[in-house]
């Protein structure tokens, strides 16, 4: 049987959970039909490490930004720095950036400043913005709408778990929604309904590994190979064959992440 070719559009291969295991993790991903993956740098000071992982493995690309939960701990990102990093041939996205008010609401003002700086870098480079949003739907909707009106950019709402209003706002701006293992959880019916109602050409799939392992691996360390489980279960929910869902999300990935296109 020929495995479908999937893309894990968001993982974190540099995290300590994967230390010394990258070769094996990439090999397992390929054996599961995952031909490409984007490993995300969440602190600019780690850019060299994440870039090295992409350089060491065929099919591994990288993106860089300051995660909103780290904004208070890190120097504020500079647009020029992000633009310079984007010149690397395998650097394919700006972020992850965004807003997270769940644990770090005290840095909300700084997070908003950081998000706007990353948006400007996405405009200047033409690379897609990679957004993390948690418990910040109203501010996220407002900032994305304001900024897009001031100058267009492309974007994926990574690991989308927010409400329908933010989903509709993002889709209205031409953005993409990325499906993580959370969509496979039994209590995620409302989230699956949002994905089912979205234009299919705007859906991506990811692991966010080492976090958020899908069923039947829930509670264990996640890894890129498991994106195949998320894809299989979501295909069933959308009444699609797994290979068709794989082809769909891969085509969508190539349309958005043009530097990583097959």
Please say whether the dihedral angle defined by the alpha carbons of residues 12, 48, 62 and 172, taken in this order, is positive or negative.
Answer: positive
| % residues pLDDT > 70 (the chain) | 98
Region 225-242 average pLDDT:
95
The per-residue pLDDT for range 98-149, each reduced to its tens digit, is 999 999 999 999 999 999 999 999 999 999 999 999 999 999 999 999 999 9
* CA 253 distance to own-chain centroid: 11
Domain chopping of the chain, boundaries:
6-260
pLDDT at 15 over 80: yes
Whether the predicted pLDDT of 164 surpasses 80: yes
Q: How confident is the model over 21-34, as pLDDT tens digits?
A: 999 999 999 999 99
158 annotated binding-site participant: yes
Position 217 scores a pLDDT of: 86
Residues with Cβ within 8 Å of 37's Cβ and at least 6 positions away in sequence, in order, are 7, 8, 9, 11, 13, 26, 29, 59, 60, 61, 224
pTM of the model: 0.96
Could you give the CA distance from residue 161 to residue 251 in angstroms, rounded to a whole number? 22
Q: Is 88 annotated as a binding residue?
A: no
CATH for 6-260, among 3.20.20.140, 3.40.630.30, 1.20.140.10, 3.40.720.10? Answer: 3.20.20.140
In the predicted structure, residue 151 carries a pLDDT above the cut 60: yes
Residue-wise pLDDT for 43-93, tens only, equals 999 999 999 999 999 999 999 999 999 999 999 999 999 999 999 999 999
Q: What percent of the chain has pLDDT over 90?
A: 95
Round to whole Å and give the CA distance between 112 and 54.
Answer: 29
- CA angle at residue 253 from 247 to 258, to 5 degrees? 130
> What pLDDT is stored for residue 1 in this prediction?
45
12 is in an annotated binding site: yes
57 is in an annotated binding site: no
Three-state DSSP at 46 gives helix
Question: In the predicted model, what is the mean pLDDT of the chain?
Answer: 96
Q: Is 55 annotated as a binding residue?
A: no
Positive or negative: CA dihedral 124, 129, 133, 138:
positive
10 among the known binding-site residues?
A: yes
Taking Cα atoms as reference points, which of 83, 85, 93 lies closest to residue 37?
A: 93
Residue 191 has pLDDT above 80, yes or no: yes
List the strands of the sheet with 91-100, edge to edge: 6-11, 34-41, 60-64, 91-100, 129-134, 155-157, 176-179, 203-205
């Amino acid at each position: 049987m020929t495995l479908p070719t999937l893309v894990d559009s968001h993982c974190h291969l540099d995290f300590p959970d994967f230390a010394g295991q990258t070769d094996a993790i990439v090999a397992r991903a390929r054996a599961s039909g995952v031909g490409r993956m984007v490993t995300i740098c969440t602190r600019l000071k780690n850019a060299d490490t994440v870039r090295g992982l992409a350089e060491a493995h065929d099919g591994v690309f990288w993106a860089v930004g300051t995660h909103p939960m780290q904004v208070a701990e890190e120097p504020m990102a500079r647009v020029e720095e992000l633009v310079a990093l984007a010149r690397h041939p395998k650097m394919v996205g700006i972020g992850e950036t965004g807003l997270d008010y769940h644990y770090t609401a005290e840095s909300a003002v700084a997070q908003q400043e950081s998000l706007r700086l990353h948006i400007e870098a996405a405009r200047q480079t033409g690379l897609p913005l990679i957004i993390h949003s948690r418990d910040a739907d109203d501010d996220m909707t407002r900032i994305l709408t304001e900024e897009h009106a001031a100058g267009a950019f492309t974007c994926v709402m990574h690991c989308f778990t927010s409400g329908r209003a933010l989903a509709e706002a993002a889709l209205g701006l031409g953005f993409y929604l990325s499906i993580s293992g959370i969509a496979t959880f039994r209590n995620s019916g409302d989230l699956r309904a949002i994905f089912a109602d979205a234009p299919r050409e705007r859906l991506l799939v990811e692991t966010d590994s080492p976090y958020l392992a899908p069923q039947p691996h829930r509670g264990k360390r996640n890894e890129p190979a498991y994106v195949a489980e998320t894809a299989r279960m979501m295909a069933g929910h959308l009444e699609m064959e797994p290979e068709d869902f794989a082809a769909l999300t891969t085509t969508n990935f190539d349309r958005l992440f043009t530097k990583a296109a097959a």
